Structure 1
Amino acid sequence: MNQAVMPPAQTPSVLPARPEFSSGPCPKRPGWSADAVAARAFLGRSHRASAPKAQLADVCTKTHALLGLPADYRLGIVPASDTGAVEMALWSLLGPRPVDVLAWESFGAGWANDIQKQLKLPDVRLLEAPYGALPDLASVRADADVVFTWNGTTSGARVPDADWIAADRTGLTICDATSAVFAQNLDWAKLDVVTFSWQKVMGGEGAHGVLILSPRAVERLESHTPAWPMPKIFRLTKGGKLIEGIFRGETINTPSMLAVADAADALDWVAEIGGQAGAQTRADANFAALQAWVDRSDWIENLVADPAARSNTSVCLRITDARVAALGEPAQRAFTKAMCARLEKANAAYDINGYRDAPPGLRIWCGATVNTDDIAALTPWLDWAFAATAAETFA
């Protein structure tokens, strides 16, 4: 690696047409129109009226179909984004069995904290790994309930498959898949609870989550009464039976009908580009373009060393230049912040600084709503921002 002070790079001549590369909320779909979404939104209407409720139900039905879920899996819209969906699952389902929690980034660590310190379950194992790596998946107990993120949004590391989940398991698998849905192949037969939010790969709006339940999860809900008080917003059963209306568009609390219309718009676009397969193809192409640049560069690497574990959506990168590495973490964060400020001022990239709890670096969204041409246009700007910031820092 060349560690000599680099001269300031020439300013690139072509900007990304859409410089939004945030990992949440993520970029809107190509061609998105606020007017078109507003035109189909039931604004000023009760979500319990027949037409708005039908739209909510249709979003559930279309999502179920586009994901290719098994016919007996239920899908519903719940409050508080992916976080609300995960917490609803944890508080409603955990308790009867031991729990294995996998944590290799901030959200997995957050679920572990809630299970250990809020629910205070007696038999909880925390299987950890540092940012950029995965824990020992083979050590997961088949008789335990397993809580994990499929794709670590803040670390850029994902599980490569579900082969490590026992087909004859007796515990439930609870999977936070918020930045994996519509971008990665999820093995539905191995997943009992799956959560995500519209604001990731769909490019939708925040504040609403999606909860998917297998028949095994429904059986647990109807046979298990949690030992703790259950807030109304988390309740999925009534009289020992699943509240089926939640999975027919009858939401627990008042949803934003503008956000619902936006989700409907996003689903129509996903269908137009080929559904799950088409959306995944776009994400794969975006990641391939970005990773090809990383492989050519001498100052940056993917935070995830194992190619099989690299995310194709929330791509996390670390600066490997020895001068930057020698600065220490606070100065490294200042360096990446300065880079990102340059890029934002140039209208070349917005919101690509790494997550606050992750190692210093960049995080670039490569999900389906991003165009590969914009990734190609972005990479010269990354070189430019690094060279300019290095020249200023090490002058």
Structure 2
Amino acid sequence: MSDTAIPDLRPRNPCFASGPCAKRPGFSLKVLAAATLGRSHRATEPKARLAEVITRSRVILGIPDDWRLGIVPASDTGAFEMALWSLLGARGVDILTFESFGEGWAIDIVKHLKLQDSRVLSAPYGKLPDMAAVDPAHDIVFPWNGTTSGVRVPNADWIPADRQGLTICDATSAAFAMALPWHRLDVVTWSWQKVLGGEAAHGMLALSPRAVERLETYTPPWPLPKIFRLTAKGKLAEGIFKGETINTPSMLCVEDALDSLRWAEHIGGLPALIARSEANLAAVAAWVARSDWAGFLAEDPPTRSCTSICLKITAAWFTALPGDGQAKAAKQLATLLEKQGVAYDIGAYRDAPPGLRIWGGATVETADIAALLPWLDWAAAQVAESFAAAQ
């Protein structure tokens, strides 16, 4: 057996999955006792709870006063699909893809909406596309943070302030952990189950005045499902942005989201959330710097995500394996960690290169990240030995 000693210290919370993500520190089911269960979400008190999620989210994220913010069905996917189907088609569109979700949006736009005037600007996992190539006359569709690649957009300098098109940003693994430049964005979506550690239910949709103007002056040529409709008689459906959600939300999930938002406020708001997430990335970066078998999937340091921290295996024994062998070895590594109860669900996303993906969002304690890292060394040594023995 490998002479790498089994670590003494274990993470107190082994939940490092990239969604749903770890609950906030100190979470207990008792905090959900006030949930308005068995009530209509249209009744006064439940509706006020929904509006409170909107208000608290707006304040923490620093969303401009003239933006609309609403709760919509089907998590971030529903929010983003709603934006694509409701807004696109008025002008050309550039789609930036550097991981699987961006690729999914490209498929929707090119193959399902069938927009002829569209360009896909792509990059392999670990890199960003040529951001300078975007056309400011086009709408721009992109993820701020690649949840499956661990690559984030480092800034918005590439987005022209005088752009003619809309910028439509999937920020589900960035909101509450990264500073979003609202003045360069027009549509932003996210979900509760990422950085807030909330439960799956509805997504969040934020619209700039420019996006609202598009909605009220442009009608897409395709039919819109009921849950995608953001306007009525040519005007924005304002109720959506006041807590009148489309479809029935889970009031238990709403209460959970409120608990996460109150926790975020208690610890210092967005600056504290960002600092916690960046501290998690820094801990992993210090370990990678001295590792002889692991590296970041994101090649350029400024583009490395502080939430979905993706690692590749660089050891010679691993790189010598065929593709299916690498996938098997990476899965074995993640399985070992899960069996030890020290890390759940940290295998790389199914479409990404074989490796590991550690969630480092603000609900994750840096002490748990630090306790996990020696276990990665231990598990890698076990897998390396088992593959060597099989040769």
CA distance in 2, matches of 1:194, 1:202: 16
Are 1:21 and 2:16 matched, yes or no?
yes
Q: Which runs of 4+ in 1 moved over 6 A?
A: none
Which of 367, 370, 373 pairs up with 2:361?
367
Hey, what does 1:12 align to over in structure 2? Answer: 7
How far apart are 1:158 and its partner, in Å? 0.6
CA distance in 2, matches of 1:208, 1:131: 28
DSSP-derived class of the 1:285 partner: helix
How far apart are 1:9 and its partner, in Å? 1.2
CA distance in 2, matches of 1:7, 1:22: 27
CA distance in 2, matches of 1:186, 1:131: 22
Which of 171, 178, 183 pairs up with 1:177?
171
Amino acid at match of 1:185: A
Amino acid at match of 1:76: G
The question of whether the paired residues in 2 share the 8 Å contact of 1:8 and 1:388 is answered with no
Percent identity between matched residues is 63
Amino acid at match of 1:78: V
CA distance in 1, matches of 2:3, 2:50: 52
Hey, what does 1:35 align to over in structure 2? Answer: 30
Which of 173, 176, 184 pairs up with 1:190?
184
Which of 127, 132, 135 pairs up with 1:141?
135
Hey, what does 1:55 align to over in structure 2? Answer: 49
CA distance in 2, matches of 1:384, 1:153: 26
Write the mapping of 1:301-320 to structure 2, written as runs, cut at 5 A: 301-320=295-314
How far apart are 1:36 and its partner, in Å? 1.4
CA distance in 2, matches of 1:124, 1:322: 41
Which of 100, 108, 128 pairs up with 2:94?
100
DSSP-derived class of the 1:331 partner: helix
- Residue segments in structure 1 that go unaligned for 5+ positions in a row: 1-5
Are 1:342 and 2:340 matched, yes or no?
no
Are 1:85 and 2:79 matched, yes or no?
yes
DSSP-derived class of the 1:394 partner: helix
How far apart are 1:35 and its partner, in Å? 2.0
How far apart are 1:381 and its partner, in Å? 0.3
CA distance in 2, matches of 1:260, 1:130: 37
The question of whether the paired residues in 2 share the 8 Å contact of 1:8 and 1:391 is answered with no
Amino acid at match of 1:153: T
Which of 338, 363, 382 pairs up with 2:376?
382
Q: Over residues 263-315 of structure 1, what are the superposed CA-to-partner deviations in whole Å (9 max), with x where a residue is unaligned?
A: 00000001011111110000000110011101110100000110011000000
Amino acid at match of 1:17: R
CA distance in 2, matches of 1:120, 1:336: 37
Which of 269, 273, 279 pairs up with 2:267?
273
- Residue segments in structure 2 that go unaligned for 5+ positions in a row: none
Which of 143, 148, 151 pairs up with 2:145?
151
Q: Over residues 343-383 of structure 1, what are the superposed CA-to-partner deviations in whole Å (9 max), with x where a residue is unaligned?
A: 11111110000000000000000010000000110000000
CA RMSD, aligned part only?
A: 0.8
Hey, what does 1:324 align to over in structure 2? Answer: 318
DSSP-derived class of the 1:40 partner: coil
The question of whether the paired residues in 2 share the 8 Å contact of 1:104 and 1:135 is answered with yes
Hey, what does 2:115 align to over in structure 1? Answer: 121
Q: Over residues 153-176 of structure 1, what are the superposed CA-to-partner deviations in whole Å (9 max), with x where a residue is unaligned?
A: 000001110000000000000000
CA distance in 2, matches of 1:141, 1:8: 56
Are 1:393 and 2:387 matched, yes or no?
yes
CA distance in 2, matches of 1:143, 1:164: 13
CA distance in 1, matches of 2:136, 2:332: 47
- Alignment size in residue pairs: 389
Amino acid at match of 2:255: A
How far apart are 1:207 and its partner, in Å? 2.5
DSSP-derived class of the 1:362 partner: strand
